């Protein structure tokens, strides 16, 4: 069975600080990887995704993530966060032969103005 681990439950940063949120998954086969963001009071929406090709993926709002297959990791990064990035971030894995997507527990990011 696939599983996803997000190491940080709550991260607090000041504006302009750099961000890295960890995500590790356990599954031996081919996977699709996702980061979703949930702004306060809203639904989850896609931030970025990796299917194949360049392991460095760029998403919306200046976010990027790097797939490191040997480490089973897909960490999310942003060089300079803004107050509007305050949200909950979910890493998700969809194994190609599994029907469902598996989500991590989420990381709450609070950016102080």
Of the candidates 28, 43, 53, 54, which one interacts with other proteins according to CB under 8 A?
43
Residue 51 as a binder of other proteins (CB under 8 A): the answer is: yes
Residue 89 as a binder of other proteins (CB under 8 A): the answer is: no
Of the candidates 46, 56, 60, 68, which one interacts with other proteins according to CB under 8 A?
46
Compute the least distance from the CB of residue 49 to other proteins, in Å: 6
DSSP secondary structure of the chain: --EEE-S-SEEEEETT--EEE--EEE-SS-EEEEEEEE-TTS--EEEEEE-SS-SEEE-GGG-EEEEEGGGTEEEEEESS--GGG-EEEEEEEEETT-SS-EE---EEEEEE-
């Amino acid at each position: 069975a696939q599983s996803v681990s997000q190491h940080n439950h709550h991260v607090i940063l000041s504006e302009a600080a750099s961000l890295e949120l960890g995500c590790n998954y356990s599954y031996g086969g081919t996977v699709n990887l996702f980061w979703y963001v949930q702004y306060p009071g809203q639904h989850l929406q896609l931030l970025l995704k990796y299917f194949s090709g360049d392991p460095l993926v760029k998403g919306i709002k200046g976010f990027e993530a790097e797939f490191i297959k040997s480490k089973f990791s897909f960490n999310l990064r942003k060089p300079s966060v803004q107050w509007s990035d305050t949200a909950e971030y979910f890493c998700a894995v969809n194994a190609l032969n599994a029907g469902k997507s598996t989500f991590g527990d989420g990381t709450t990011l609070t950016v102080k103005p």
